[in-house]
Structure 1
Amino acid sequence: MATAAARAAIGDSEFDRDTAAVPRPGEPGTYDIDLSAGWMIISALNGGYLLAVLGRALREALPHHDPLTITAHYLTASQPGPAVVRTETVRSGRTMSTGQASLFQRDEDGQDVERLRVIAGYGDLDALPDDVRTSATPPPMASYANSVSSHDTPGVSPLPGSAAILDRLDLRLDPATAGWAVGAPSGAGRMRGWLGLADGRDHDALSLLLAADSLPATAFDLGLKGWTPTLELTVHVRSRPAPGPLRVSLSTRNLAGGLLEEDGEIWDSADRLVAQSRQLARAPRG
């Protein structure tokens, strides 16, 4: 468990401030939030950031603290500004609780529009058995020092519009999967990199939800350019991460019908597989 000092430091992070959900008086399970433009990518808010927003609201609403499995369906693009998260406790058991949540924003006509909907199972990561039987191994990749920061190639991007999120991340790509940034994609559909938060906050279960959608899209390594909107994202949190940067590995094996999947693995500094993800996205149309 994190110490009181560590938890206090986490609370001072920009990530925590920008995902904070304020309970609405007189409406149990309903939370108000001001979505921050600091997590924009192109013309919409990053899907991992939004997943963490709803993940935090569910943590407040449910009797258990840690997301073990969480699935989001993205219905319409979310924008910075006021939003409402409405949660529901579906089931509450001894070791796991299940809940769902939706995020709403007002449109130009003053109507509530549902942006995304989540269903999740929560538990206590510290109470899970410590038995590990796995054939998974950490991804082969360059060291942190020898990886490519987004600031190493200023102005090089296949995406027009905002990249504000990059200022909030310490993202360093494995050079073997960064060729697309200089016009030389490998065609393998892989993306690997080191990931931290720019303000030095250590990762926890909630920031793993952000990490699952923080690397550039594997579509870029396939030689495609343009926005790759997420339709559905599932994250399985397996353990609380050790301090230090994460290693994130994404791969796509099948692009068909204008859709592609991304399978993700997230490893911590102690070489543990702390989260897995799968995302279904629409291939760029450009």
Structure 2
Amino acid sequence: MPEAASAQAIRAAIGDSEFDRDTALTAREPGVYDIDLSAGWTITNAVNGGYLLAVLGRALADALPHPDPFTVSAHYLTASQPGPAVVRTETVRTGRTLSTGQASLFQFDEQGNEVERIRVLASYGDLDSLPDDVRTTAAPPALPPMDQCFGPEDGPAPVDGSSEIAGRLMLKLDPSTLGWALGKPSGKGEMRGWFGLADGRDPDPLALLLAVDALPPTAFEMGLTGWVPTVELTVHIRCRPAPGPLRVSITTRNLAGGFLEEDAEVWDSAGRLVAQSRQLARVRL
């Protein structure tokens, strides 16, 4: 078997993938963790917000008595950079089915002072204990087959360092939301695509925290360019995802005053709505 084909046939397991290694923390003392934020999850030198949410989500999973994030609300205070960081967690409340905690990620300025980058409040439970009853009017997004969608590898070579995260994702975007890449944005605040990790690792709840913030901003398809920093992001994890690629749909209905909302839905290979999110982001007009 050719080396490339052999590499593609080897899929990383949950717990033994680049994503797991790059979100791993070292406990310094109870509630305090050290991590070296990887440069592999950056966009123009700023660390991706979904990756940061997964880092904090992993810290809270260790600190709280329940294993799975149910709802996570994050405020992004300043942009995070690759390099050393400290995560501090606090248990707010523990109950029989849910526990609530908060976590903050800190880095250091040139004088060595701690700077808080992101603050999270989250409730955790056990996704495997949820009942199977589902009553919904939601439907998965209509996406073309994956081989009819396009990823970063189908476009021109990116500028070095412009989007390191692209090499760690399997991302195939719906052509109807790619007008911006051709200089012809549709004007609609929509972005849809297939999502996975490049090493083939199957999704889990922490990967869902990444998935809601991994597609290009809807602002691009609205004719805007440049960085679209997240101000606040809330994610609801609805069930444990089945193995296989995810379908992600993101929409924006209102851009006003230099801010827009992005509503995301994430669907698994079994056709279930596994995560929802809303974020407020800033755009530069």
Shared topology, TM-score over 0.5? Answer: yes
Counterpart Cα distance in 1 of 2:158 and 2:92: 46
Counterpart Cα distance in 1 of 2:211 and 2:150: 17
Q: CA deviation at 1:141?
A: 1.6
Report SS of the residue matched to 1:134.
coil
Counterpart Cα distance in 1 of 2:201 and 2:273: 20
Q: Partner of 2:130 in structure 1?
A: 128
Matched, 1:46 2:24: no
Identity %: 72
**Residue segments in structure 2 that go unaligned for 5+ positions in a row:** 1-11
Counterpart Cα distance in 1 of 2:179 and 2:78: 31
Matched, 1:196 2:200: no
Q: CA deviation at 1:184?
A: 1.0
Q: Partner of 1:103 in structure 2?
A: 105
**Residue segments in structure 1 that go unaligned for 5+ positions in a row:** 1-7
Report SS of the residue matched to 1:33.
strand
Report SS of the residue matched to 2:13.
helix
User: Cα–Cα, structure 1 residues 198 and 16, in superposed 2: closer, same or farther, change >3 Å?
Assistant: same
Matched, 1:82 2:84: yes
Q: CA deviation at 1:10?
A: 1.3
RMSD (Å) for aligned C-alpha atoms: 1.3
Letter paired with 1:14: E
Q: Partner of 2:72 in structure 1?
A: 70
Counterpart Cα distance in 2 of 1:162 and 1:85: 26
Counterpart Cα distance in 2 of 1:9 and 1:129: 27
Q: Partner of 2:5 in structure 1?
A: none
Contact 1:191 1:217 in 2 (8 A): yes
Post-superposition CA distance 1:180-223 (Å, at most 9, x none): 11111111110000001001100000000000100000000000
- How many residues align? The count is 274
Contact 2:60 2:89 in 1 (8 A): yes
Counterpart Cα distance in 2 of 1:22 and 1:58: 13
TM-score, normalised to structure 2's length? 0.94
Map 1:1-286; keep pairs closer than 5 Å.
9-24=13-28, 27-155=29-157, 162-285=162-285
Contact 1:156 1:182 in 2 (8 A): no
Report SS of the residue matched to 2:143.
coil
Counterpart Cα distance in 1 of 2:270 and 2:245: 10
Report SS of the residue matched to 1:141.
coil
Contact 1:265 1:273 in 2 (8 A): yes
Post-superposition CA distance 1:44-83 (Å, at most 9, x none): 0000000000000000000000000001000000001110
Q: CA deviation at 1:156?
A: 6.6
Counterpart Cα distance in 2 of 1:83 and 1:22: 11
Letter paired with 2:47: L
Q: CA deviation at 1:161?
A: 5.1
Post-superposition CA distance 1:119-144 (Å, at most 9, x none): 00000001011110000000112111
Counterpart Cα distance in 1 of 2:271 and 2:15: 26
Contact 2:39 2:45 in 1 (8 A): no
User: Cα–Cα, structure 1 residues 9 and 161, in superposed 2: closer, same or farther, change >3 Å?
Assistant: closer
Letter paired with 2:23: T
TM-score, normalised to structure 1's length? 0.94
Counterpart Cα distance in 2 of 1:213 and 1:143: 22
